[in-house]
Structure 1
Amino acid sequence: MLLVVACIVMVVAGVVQRLTGLGFALVATPLMVLLYGPVDGVLVVVVAGAVAAIVMLATMLGEVDWRRSLLLATAGVAASPLAAWVVHVSPPQALLLIVGSAGLLSLLGGRLVSVARMLTGTRGALFAGSASGFLHVASGLSGPPLVAYGLNDRWDQRSFAASLQVVFLVYHLITVAWRGLPRIEAEELGWLIGLSILGTLLGVLLARIVPSRWSRLGMLGIAWAGTIAVLVRGALAFLE
C-alpha cells in the first residue's frame, strides 16, 4: 500500500512539473516525507526530480537562458555546505519542521514577491540562488526565491520554466553529493523514478487540454494537505 501511494504521488508530481514548469518537489516532498521519513523522503524526491528535470529539459533546451541559469546554480552550490551541515546536526523531528516550513514558504511565495524588489539583475540572481540552494539541500524545496527573482526580473515564462530545469538538476546533483542516495530498495526507487518520467510525459499530453488554472489548483490542494500534515507530525514528534 505504501508503494502504491508513493507511485501515485510521483505520477501526479511529474504531471504538475510539465504543466507548470515547477512544483514537482512541492507536490511530492511533503507526502514522501510522511511515507519515508524526513531524510529518505527528501532524497527520493531529489533523485526522481533530477530525472524528471532531464526529461523536461530535453523538450525545452532551446529556451534556456544559460547566463541566468548558471548564476542561480553557482550561488546555490556555494550555499549548499551550510545546508548539509544543518541537516547533519538536526534531529529527525527538527527536519520534519524544516521541510514543513519550507513547504509553507513555497505556498506563500507569492507574498515574497511583493517585498523582494531587490531580486533583479546579477545581484538578485546570486541572492535568490543562494537562498534556493540552501533550501533545496535542506528540504528539497527551493521555489520561492526563484519565483520571486523570475517575476521581479521580468523573465519570460517559457524561458524561466526551461531554465529552472537546469538549476534544479544542479541542485539535485549537489544534494545527492552532500546527502547520498535514499536508503530504500533499488527496485522501489526504480519504480518511483519511472513513474515520475511517466507523469512528465503524460503532462505533455494534458498540457493541451487541461487549463493551467485547474492544474495549479490541484497542485496547491495536494501541497497544502501534505505540508500541514508534515508540520503537525513534526510538532507532535517534539511533544513525544
Structure 2
Amino acid sequence: MDLVSFVVALVAVLIGAAGQRMIGMGWGLVVTPAVALVAGPLAAVLVVNLYGALACMVILPKVWHDIDWKRLLWLAVPAVALMVPGLLLAKGLDTDVLRIAVGVIAMAGVVITVAFTTAERSHDGPALRIATGATIGVLNASVGMGAPALGVYTLLSGWQDRTFVATMQPFWVIVSGVIVAVRPFVAPEGSPDWPLWAWLLLCVPVVAGVLLGNRLAHLVNRTVVRWSIIALSVLGGAALIVTGALGLLA
C-alpha cells in the first residue's frame, strides 16, 4: 500500500466526514476518488460505504429530531432494491473503465452541487423520489457515489433545509449498511488487502471529522464548505479520469 496515497485518503475522509455533518453531503464526492486511487474503484465501494455508514451513525444522535421519516422511506426503499444490480455492474466492468466512470460521476456531481447552491424549489413527488432512490442505489453500489443523483433531486425539489441534513444520515446508514452486508455474497473479491492497522486508523479521521463538523456547523459559512468540497472533488475526479485513461492506453 502506498503510504502517501493512504495519507491523502485519511485527509479526504476527515474533510468528507466534516462536510457530511455540516451540509448533509460531500462524503462520497470527496472520499471515493481518494480511496479509489489507493485501493482501486471496486474496493473503494466497500471502504466508502463502510466508513460512510460509521460517519453517519456518529452524526445521527445530533440530528435525530429533524429527520423527515416519510421522505426517508420514499428514497431508501428503491435504493436498497437496486443495490444488487449495482454491485453486479461493478463486478462486470473493466477496472480502468470503472475508474473513469467514478471520475466522470465525481465531476458531474460537482456541476450538480454548484447548481444545488442556487436552486429554487420546482417540484417534488413520489415518482421523482423513487427514481432518485433507485439511481442512488445503483450508483452507490457500483462506484460508491450516489451523491450526483441526490443533487439532482435536491435541485428539482428545493429540499435544502435542516431536515435534509438530518434525513441524509439515516438514509446513508441504511444504504451503505446494506451494501456492506450483501457485498460478500455478490462481489467478495473486491475487498482491499490492507493490514489491520490501516482499517483501524481510518476510523480516526471519520470520528474526528464528525466532531469537527459538530463544532463548525453553526460557525462556518456553508458556502465556503461547499466550495471546498467542490474543489477537492474536481481534483480527485480529474485524477481518476487521467489514471483510468492511462491504464486503458497502456
Aligned-partner Cα distance in 2 for 1:183–1:50: 20
Q: For residues 121-166 of structure 1, what are the alpha-carbon distances to aligned partners after superposition, in whole Å with 9 as ceiling and x for unaligned? A: 1111101100111110011111122233234334351111111112
Match of 1:104 in 2: 107
Match of 1:136 in 2: 140
Q: Summarize the alignment of residues 186-197 of structure 1 with structure 2, pairs less than 5 Å apart.
A: 186-197=196-207
Aligned-partner Cα distance in 1 for 2:55–2:196: 18
Aligned-partner Cα distance in 1 for 2:139–2:206: 22
Aligned with 1:44 (options 42, 47, 50): 47
Percent identical pairs in the alignment equals 29
Match of 2:72 in 1: 69
Query: What amino acid sits opposite 1:139 in the alignment?
Result: V
Aligned with 1:178 (options 160, 178, 182): 182
1:208 is displaced (CA, Å) by 3.3
Match of 2:12 in 1: 9
Say whether 1:168 aligns with 2:168: no
Aligned length: 238
Q: Gaps spanning 5+ residues in structure 1: where? A: none
Q: Secondary structure at the match of 1:14?
A: helix
Q: For residues 7-41 of structure 1, what are the alpha-carbon distances to aligned partners after superposition, in whole Å with 9 as ceiling and x for unaligned? A: 22221111111221110111111111112211222
Change (3 A) 1:154 1:210: closer
Match of 2:63 in 1: 60
Match of 2:219 in 1: 209
Query: What amino acid sits opposite 2:172 in the alignment?
Result: F
Aligned-partner Cα distance in 1 for 2:218–2:248: 46
Say whether 1:233 aligns with 2:243: yes
Match of 2:149 in 1: 145
Q: For residues 145-199 of structure 1, what are the alpha-carbon distances to aligned partners after superposition, in whole Å with 9 as ceiling and x for unaligned? A: 2233234334351111111112111111122133345442232111112211111
CA RMSD of superposed structures (Å) = 2.2
Aligned-partner Cα distance in 2 for 1:25–1:169: 13
Q: Gaps spanning 5+ residues in structure 2: where? A: 185-190
What TM-score, normalized to structure 1?
0.91
> Is 40-49 or 25-34 further displaced after alignment?
40-49
Change (3 A) 1:110 1:119: farther
Match of 1:26 in 2: 29
What TM-score, normalized to structure 2?
0.87
Aligned-partner Cα distance in 2 for 1:152–1:5: 34
Change (3 A) 1:13 1:110: closer
